[in-house]
Amino acid sequence: MPTPAPPSRIAIIGAGPAGLMAADALTQAGLAVDIYDAMPSAGRKFLMAGKGGMNITHAEPLPDFLARYGSSRSRLQPVLEAFPPDALRAWIHELGIATFVGTSGRVFPVDMKAAPLLRAWLHRLRERGAYFHMRHRWQGWDGNGALLFSTPSGMQPVRADAVVLALGGASWPQLGADGSWVPLLAQQGIHIAPLRPSNCGFEVSWSSHLRERQAGQPLKGIAATFNGVRKRGECVITEYGIEGSLVYAFSPDLRDAIERDGSATLLLDLLPDLDMQRIRNEAAHPRGSRSLSSHLQSRLGLSGAKAMLPREILDSAQMADPLSLAQTLKAFPLVLRAPRPLAEAISSAGGVLLEMLDERLMLRAMPGIFCAGEMLDWEAPTGGYLLTACFATGQAAGNGVLSWLEQH
């Protein structure tokens, strides 16, 4: 009788959402996998992202959802169509976690937490045969082509029949994704777009008066315009400048403009529900003995940071001029000097060029090596789009391994 072939050994490097989803697809097919991660426990950034409410995905129609991925849409579309938001929700429900759709269309677990989902997921993976190797930092390949890990017990070579790299970008490096994989792949001739901050805050040269009085204060119910695109939302004034969901929504274009021109100007509409004439009329209304600040709060509801912002660029005479004030309130020119450092960003842009991969997310130049998640060259806004693409590319890579092993 012929000797049966030994079972394939599959290594997944990175225990974030993409790596765990690759393991999910492989273990569901009955394969055992080894999952390696440099950190002491799995899913650290996933847990941190869920601290403010675990926004898993978004319920908007799929064409609108796909449009959120910008220039990467055409390459990511087949992956996202194979595992769309509805499929992701169904998968979460299989883990015993109920979800709901918020008023903005964002999808959350009912308890709004990431930890119960991660616990149920890890339990299922272990039951299916996944084995976790924590505190194993990948160091590339040794001279014999084996994976090389630094571990608490020293350097350890590992041979695998297929490998899924799900090493993340370089935002929040204290949670594990520090971009140290970039030179390891570059040495193998893999082309990698520089890692840059995405969904990040920006630096603004505030006056010391505003910085001392308003740092940490929100700007709610405003609109912003850049390159002819207008969005509504809110943001927060910080000591260094500005951050928040409204700013994050523009971050790729703002970052690129700053790299090109040295600065970028975001126009803020501080009173989007009032037209300029109405604002001018209210500002011109006789105020008697009231101060200008009290008058504007009474007539226009201006207070806090919204009331102080115009004073950053208007002198006393211009503040008292209804037309100048109205124009500034409707189009406050917020000059952004630089994005905040990558380590502070919610996510990173750049990574392994998608052209380096085939339709299975396998590196064309390195058969048997697959890539998934944020280490690929794509970016998306917050709102569930980042996580959905990490899940979807992880599953695609896992399925890609299955397809490749069948052929080899």
The encoded tokens of residue 311 equal 């004073």
> What pLDDT is stored for residue 127 in this prediction?
96
Burial (CB < 10 A; 0-12, 13-18, 19+), residue 215, is middle
> At 352, is the secondary structure helix, strand, or coil?
strand
Q: Over 90: is that where the pLDDT of 3 sits?
A: no
Residue spans of the domains in the chain: they are 10-198+341-407, 204-339
pLDDT tens for each residue of 104-145: 899 999 999 999 999 999 999 999 999 999 999 999 999 999
Q: Collapsing DSSP states into helix, strand and coil, what is residue 50?
A: coil
pLDDT at residue 5 is higher than 70: no
**What does residue 206 show for φ and ψ, rounded to 5 degrees?**
-65, 155
Share of the chain above pLDDT 90, in %: 92
Angle between helices 17-28 and 385-407 (to 10 degrees): 40
Predicted pLDDT of residue 287? 86
User: Which residue from 340, 322, 183, 320 is spatially nearest to 251, judged by alpha carbons?
Assistant: 340
Provide DSSP, 79-93: HHHHS-HHHHHHHHH
Q: What is the pTM of this model?
A: 0.92
- Amino acid code (one letter) for 53: G
pLDDT for residue 152: 95
CA-based nearest residue to 34, from 45, 48, 50, 23: 23
What CATH architecture is 10-198+341-407? 3-Layer(bba) Sandwich (3.50)
Please enumerate in sequence order all residues whose Cβ is within 8 A of that of 350, keeping only pairs 6 or more positions apart, or say none. 169, 192, 193, 194, 195, 196, 377
What is the pLDDT, as a whole number, of residue 4?
Answer: 52
Q: Can you tell me the distance from the alpha carbon of 163 to that of 140, in angstroms, rounded to the nearest whole number? A: 12
pLDDT per position as a tens digit, 50-66: 777 899 999 999 999 99
- Confidence at 2, pLDDT banded by 50, 70, 90: low
Q: Which residues pair with 100 in a beta bridge?
A: 108
Q: Which pair of structure tokens corresponds to residue 57?
A: 């995905």
Q: What is the pLDDT of residues 249-258, one digit of tens each?
A: 999 999 999 9
What percent of the chain shows pLDDT beyond 70?
A: 98
Report the candidate in 183, 181, 115, 149 with the shortest Cα–Cα distance to residue 35. 149
